[in-house]
Amino acid sequence: MISAPGRTWHVCPFTGLPVEITEVRVNGPRGVSVQYRCLTRIDACQPGVCPLFPEEGQIVPKSGPYELPYRSDRGICSILMSGLGGDGANTAAKLLFDVAVNQIGLDGGLDAKYGSEKTGTPTDVSIRLTDTQSPIRTSGPTRMPHILVVFHPELVRPLRLTEGLRENASVIVNTTRPFDEIRDLLELHSGTLHLLDAAGIARATRSRLNMPLLAQLCRVIGFPDEALEEPIVKKWPRQSEANLAAFRAARDGVQTRRIDPDGRYALRPPRPIQSRIGYETMLDGGTVRAADSLIVPKPGSRRSLSPPPAFNRAACIDCVLCLTVCPDPGALIWRENKMTGVDAAYCKACMRCVSVCPETKKGKALTAP
């Protein structure tokens, strides 16, 4: 079956003239192929030379045996990872993207939104992958994801994460709450819901929140574990044992349920773009309003949605090791050269201080909550 063609305009790299291209999706036994037709060829065009498009009428097969679980009408699988600054969503997305392109043989694009680029502010990362040789020309955040990864369920409604979520999507959520409660929170129309206590796994293995969620995302996409394990070791050699333990623990810790359309919730369209972007509407001096980025948590509340480490003053020997690894000034409270506590307004619960805190006769001064 051949789908209806979609026409788009591009600029010819040789002539500089606008070129109209028709992309025809051909659904075969091995998935989707792409057939391009240049509708405005001129005498100067040379089939097989243009780097953007193949020879006229040529069917471009998939680049390898791997097949993505989701595809849009252009053969693109869209993934949205939503977390807070410090969760490692951007780092995990870059690692996944590198594996997809360099090991699996896919093509794609990656876009990260950092907001005000502060720890604790919302961070959305969009990944687009394709298993055909169809070029990805779209950039920017994805507005209609096939797969949604939620680092904190508290972000779902303030950030309106399920707007534009496609039918039969896969949603991965870090939570210990039951399926029905999470489905109601998401107002999920249909798809597959994957729940796992990623925060608990990260604390138990002394890893990061992104490792268990990355592991489950890879399994939803269909990437083999071994494709990610070696890059994880290379990326974080000193934390490789802890990260691999968290990555593997997600396999047994996830709970999955299929949700069929039952009329309880409708598909929600993507959020409309409210205004045009141009030189007349840009912010003066490139300034960023912090209030627009600090959606979660609210100003004055804790910046992290995860509990901070527990502190036992009786076991503390004031060795200062915790202070040397803490990424956020102000998270560890010191008075007169003594450690006195943890400030939850600054702590992002990365647990690096817990990992270096020495064991004394009275135990560890800093422990996971």
For every one of its 369 residues, what pLDDT tens digit does the chain have, with 9 covering 90 and above? 233 344 445 566 555 665 555 544 443 333 344 444 555 555 555 555 554 544 444 444 444 457 788 888 777 899 999 988 778 888 999 999 999 888 887 888 898 876 444 556 778 899 999 876 666 777 778 889 999 999 999 889 888 899 999 999 999 999 999 999 999 999 999 999 999 999 999 988 988 899 999 999 999 998 888 888 889 999 888 889 999 999 999 988 899 999 999 999 999 988 776 556 566 665 555 544 444 444 444 434 444 566 789 999 999 999 999 988 887 778 899 998 899 999 877 787 778 898 889 998 899 999 988
Amino acid identity of residue 215, one-letter, is: A
Domain ranges of the chain: 6-60, 76-259, 310-367
Global confidence as pTM: 0.67
Q: Which structure tokens are listed for 219?
A: 């399994």
Angle at 297 between CA 291 and CA 194, to 5 degrees: 125
Determine the 3-state secondary structure of 60 from DSSP: strand
Determine the 3-state secondary structure of 34 from DSSP: strand
Q: What is the distance between the alpha carbons of residues 220 and 115, in angstroms, rounded to a whole number?
A: 28
Cite the beta strand spans of the chain per DSSP E: 6-11, 18-28, 31-38, 59-60, 76-84, 107-113, 122-130, 147-150, 169-174, 191-196, 255-259, 310-311, 332-335, 338-342, 359-360, 363-364, 366-367
Contact 82, 146 (CB under 8 A): no
350 - beta bridge partners?
none
31 - beta bridge partners?
28
Secondary-structure class of domain 310-367 per CATH? alpha beta
Q: Which structure tokens are listed for 167?
A: 């039918």
Q: What is the distance between the alpha carbons of residues 270 and 297, in angstroms, rounded to a whole number?
A: 23
Dihedral, 298, 302, 303, 306 alpha carbons, nearest 10? -120
Contact 228, 247 (CB under 8 A): yes
pLDDT at 126: 92
Q: What is the distance between the alpha carbons of residues 43 and 23, in angstroms, rounded to a whole number?
A: 22
pLDDT at 369: 80
**Cβ neighbours around 208 below 10 Å, total:** 24
Contact 265, 189 (CB under 8 A): yes
Q: First-to-last CA distance in the chain?
A: 56
Secondary-structure class of domain 76-259 per CATH? alpha beta
Contact 50, 40 (CB under 8 A): no
Residue with tokens 């600090």: 294
Cite the beta strand spans of 199-260 per DSSP E: 255-259
pLDDT at 318: 92
Q: What is the distance between the alpha carbons of residues 227 and 215, in angstroms, rounded to a whole number?
A: 11
Angle at 193 between CA 136 and CA 227, to 5 degrees: 55
Cite the beta strand spans of 68-163 per DSSP E: 76-84, 107-113, 122-130, 147-150
Contact 367, 312 (CB under 8 A): yes
pLDDT at 39: 53
Contacting residues for 241 by C-beta, under 8 A, at least 6 apart: none
Nearest in space to 267 (alpha carbons), one of 158, 166, 346: 166
Rounded to an integer, what is the distance from CA 194 to the centroid of its chain? 15
